[in-house]
A and B are shown apart, each in its own frame.
Chain A
Amino acid sequence: MAIFKRDEGSKSAPTISTASLPDVVYMMLFFFMISSTMREVTVMVENGMPDARTVTKLEKKSLVSNIYIGRPKAEFVGMYGSEPRIQLNDKFATLNDITSFVIAEQEARSEEDRNSITNNLKVDMDTKMGIVTDLKQELRRANSLRVSYAARKKV
């Protein structure tokens, strides 16, 4: 069986081919590109989500508009205080900004999607209900009635 016999002496141990390594990495790369979404806003408030058993997934990402509520993070406490604040997009907001935010979110979607926008309320679990209630009243006033209280699935 001469074919299996190595021509010893002329070569040292064979090098492992790394030619397929890029392919493997590309596969991972494409997986992550497809399965992930870009992080759009930097969250400037504390955001510890509560746990719940009966969570439903928000199906269409493009129809979700995020509203964050919580205490400002440590680096913003000097400027915005430590009371829970509302964050819309990239800046802190007050209750008066909600209506214009809702309208802006509706403008950004196509006509037929405007009534199916879901407001995803990402509220820190240490927040008191007062500010959340105010926000809900404001959303009702702006006639944007679909809300989802963000929560993690309890296992």
Chain B
Amino acid sequence: MSKKSVPEINASSQADIAFLLLIFFLVAASMDTDSGIFRRLPPMPPEDVVVNPPKYAKRNILQVLVNKNDMLAVNGEIMDISMLKDKALEFILNPQNKPDLPAKDIKEVPFFGRVEVSKGIVSLQSDRGTSYKMYIAVQDELAAAFNEARDIKSMEQWGKKYDELDPEQQDAVRKVVPTAISEAEPKNIGGTK
């Protein structure tokens, strides 16, 4: 028997080629998945129609103002942003049915049956001079308040957090706690352009 085997094809350069391709894809590609705060803008009213803004009772509105110095005022009183979430949460849920917090409607919702749905609307108004960072921080706090309210509702119903529910249950919770953030038409009060 001969001790020599069949000569192998030298494959060491294949690794180099593969590395080249790998590095090309690493450079040309971006891995980041887009994430963000999703919102639906209200449709533009037709220009020739004068729309009277709907009237809401004062108790049903949580007025959030952010001025050009990134200062926050909720229902007329200056507030730190760390307090906003609790304030909004109390506004959404109104657990003690206080007369100065939103009224509630009785609605028919799957899983829940007849349930109280808050009529409250968070009205967010920012100035042209407000920084985007502050605006997102406020949006984030409000969204966090709504999420927490949903967590509380789903805890009462199923003993689970909102994220752990299946899609139909999430839908139902969203009907009980709808995202009611309204952005007022932009104003220009002493804004810097």
Contacts and interface: CB of A to CB of B under 8 A. Distances in A.
Contact of A130 (B26, B37, B128, B140): B128
A91 to B, nearest CB: 20
A134 B40 CA distance: 16
B33 A58 contact: yes
Contacts of B14: 22
Give the interface size bracket for B toward A. Answer: 35 or more
Interface on chain A toward B: helix, strand, loop, or mixed SS? mixed
B33 A149 contact: no
A19 B11 contact: yes
B144 to A, nearest CB: 5
Given A26-B18, A143-B43, A149-B136, A118 B38 contact: yes
B129 A128 contact: yes
Nearest to A52: B140
Interface string A112-155: 00000010110111111110111011011101011111111100
Contacts of A121: 36
A61 B39 CA distance: 17
Interface of A: 18-19, 21-22, 25-26, 28-29, 32-33, 35-39, 50, 52-58, 61, 64, 118, 120-121, 123-130, 132-134, 136-137, 139-141, 143, 145-153
B140 A29 contact: no
A126 B135 CA distance: 11
A50 B30 CA distance: 19
Interface in B5-26: 11-12, 14-15, 18-19, 21-22, 25-26
Q: Could you say which of A120, A125, A146, A153 has the most chain B C-beta atoms within 10 Å of its C-beta?
A: A125
By Cβ-Cβ distance, the 4 closest A-B pairs, closest first, are: A36-B29, A130-B128, A148-B36, A125-B133
B74 to A, nearest CB: 18
B34 interface: yes
Contacts of A124: 132
Nearest to A132: B132
Contacts of A150: 34-36
